[in-house]
Amino acid sequence: MMTCGPGSAIVLMGSFCLLRTRFLLRPFVPSAAMQRTYSLDVSPELVRNQAYIDGRWTSAAADFPVLDPASGALIARVADCGPAEAKQAVDAAYKAFHTWKQQTAKERSDLLRRWYELMVKHKDELARIVTFECGKPLPEALGEVGYSAGFLEWYSEEARRCYGDVVPSPFRDRKILLLKQPVGVASIITPWNFPSAMITRKVGAALAAGCTVVVKPAEDTPLSALALAQLADQAGIPAGVFNVVPCSREKTPAVGEVLCTDPLVAKVSFTGSTATGKILLRHAADTVKKVSMELGGNAPFIVFNSADVDKAVAGAMGSKFRNTGQTCVCSNRFLVQSGVHDAFVEKLAVAMDAQLRMGHGAEPGVTQGPLINARAAEKVVHQVEDAVSRGARVLRGGKRGEGSYMEPTLLTGVTTEMLCTKEETFGPLLPVIRFNTEREALAIANATDVGLAGYFFSQDVSQIWRVAEALETGMVGVNEGLLSTPEAAFGGVKQSGLGSEGSKYGIQEYLHIKYMCFGGLEA
């Protein structure tokens, strides 16, 4: 059962737990008497349902539902903004830019630091919002909030390190200076799978550089964005500097078009599918906006004969099943060399039996929440059916549960002709391809038009250097299945995107270089 309102608790019925057997992970649907209730248990001030524009909470003519993907229950109804509200937010951001860019780097740094401290203070509540609106298990949601806050901390420090250059001049009577200046208003369009971190990774850099922003969060997960707006307001971020415009799936194209075409917008940053990224690039091209895109992946995970198999299994579990397989850097294709193939598969199956448990993300011990919606589960089922029809074997899982739940699934006998190796799955499907030589593995790994992340396990130092340099990806995990951190550059090659986020390079995406020639300096 559920109640909803600005000051109410939100209680949801959980309906899944996991019955593990030696051979197969099976969802178990308990009787009504056994069902547990789950309470959002978040302070009312953090559960906002209006847009945040120019420092004010703003209603729209309509609203749209936000549902718990674990149960389908209504969490809240949120303002359904359209092009008019998007334009209002852009105008507010443009007006605020002219004062925000004049603040000193230290002043911007101090405000970002204050925002970071508020995130840390409210981390438990922010994590529960993440869990209830996107289904992520609570320990992972807490990890995301820490990761998200880390970008505000990092960029509060980087704000004071946007150095320009003084270049030695070939002329005696002039000096050459290269200045770093903020580009202006940035449109920030973010996905549902990391509803907090994907905002701060972009916004932290933008605000540190002196830009102002309009955020359009994913329609599935607007509550995390609005909670961040509440904390930004408490931190003292000036009106118009940080704006949030939520909208439904139906209004997303029109709102996105405004955010990518308005002449007052100087920069567009998007994380999402490659297909959508191409549409936004076309919109941004007419006014030649600066863009950064973090798009789809099809990450290879390679296990060579020299690998420590136990470490490779642990890496595979983290890389594949984090957020139930719904991350852009999830391993999608598992290539295992013949000498360790059988041992790897056997140990992986044991690890899946022991470590994976499906259920509501608020349930203690749950590691696998639901997929974001029924369409996502249907895609995984389709890939499994395609693989089986082409000769693959299901060793674990393979079936869909109720709603948007999907069993963690292990396939062997997989070939490169199967859909699960050609398409990004975004679900808990682990397909294993056997290979014989390093050259063969690299050919398979690089035979794709995307290149976000790649992983491999080896203890051969020469091989490590060869493979790391040969993989056509923007990021490489060597003997490691988890690689994201605010200090490192995050970005892909090929059709996986443009630009980098995080690290000292992320802030450069929101700056342009102005060349100043200072002449008339004769002695």
Distance (Å, whole) CA 249 – CA 391: 38
Cβ burial, residue 165 (10 Å; 0-12/13-18/19+): exposed
First vs last C-alpha separation in the chain? 82
Alpha-helical regions (H) of 135-212:
138-158, 197-209
Secondary element (H or E) of residue 79: strand 74-79
Name residue 455's beta-bridge partners: 301, 477
Both tokens of residue 452? 């976000």
Pairing of strands 165-167, 175-182: antiparallel
SS3 363: coil
Catalytic residue among 140, 144, 294, 509: 294
Centroid of chain to Cα 151? 13
Paired tokens of 340:
């360790």
Q: CA gyration radius for the chain?
A: 24
The number of beta carbons lying within 10 Å of the beta carbon of residue 305 is: 17
Cα angle 284, 489, 266; round to 5: 25
Three-state secondary-structure class, residue 420: helix
Which among 126, 333, 47 has a CA at the least distance from the CA of 325?
333
Q: Judge whether 153 counts as a catalytic residue.
A: no
Residue 422 and residue 442: Cα distance in Å, rounded? 15
The C-alpha atoms of residue 497 and residue 115 are separated, in whole angstroms, by 29
State how far the Cα of 100 lies from the Cα of 240, in Å rounded to an integer.
9
User: Angle at which helices 123-134 and 105-121 pack, to 10 degrees?
Assistant: 70
- C-beta separation of 51 from 60 below 8 A: yes
Report which of 100, 235, 201, 74 is spatially closest to residue 215, judged by C-alpha positions.
201
Q: Which residues of 265-290 are buried (b: 16+ CB within 10 A; e: fewer)?
A: bbbbbbbbebebbeebbebbeeeebb
> If we measure between CA atoms, which residue out of 420, 433, 421 comes closest to residue 302?
433
Instruction: Return d(Cα 279, Cα 190) in angstroms, integer.
Output: 15
C-beta neighbour count of 490 within 10 angstroms: 25
Amino acid at 394: V
Which active-site residues does the annotation give? 294
